[in-house]
Amino acid sequence: MSTKLVERGARIRRTKWVELSCLLCGEAVATLEGGAVLRPRTSNSARVIGARVVCGRCGGSLSPTDQGERVHFV
């Protein structure tokens, strides 16, 4: 289906995402989109300490839990 849309001139933008959860408390902390955009679940759910992103509740390390791809037709 997407090849037919491309043949018609439609532009497709794909964004990969990864959900991050805390290893210590298990809280779903944030979503990382495109490897560069961090979207926290709440304003206090993630903290940046130096070059690390840690859990805002307990300060634990984050682990990827789910991943996927979002498709936008422009």
| pLDDT over 70 percentage in the chain | 88
Asked if pLDDT for residue 69 goes beyond 90, the answer is yes
pLDDT in tens, 3-37: 666 566 778 889 999 999 999 999 999 999 998 99
Q: Could you state, in order of their start, the residue ranges of all structural domains in the chain?
A: 2-73
pLDDT in tens, 30-46: 999 998 999 999 999 99
pTM comes to 0.76
Helix (H, G, I), strand (E, B) or coil at 19: strand
Asked if pLDDT for residue 71 goes beyond 80, the answer is yes
Using H for helix, E for strand and C for coil, what is the string for 27-74? CEEEEEECCCEEEECCCCCEEEECCEEEECCCCCCEEEEEEEEEEEEC
User: Side by side, which strands form the sheet with 28-33?
Assistant: 37-40, 28-33, 12-22, 62-73
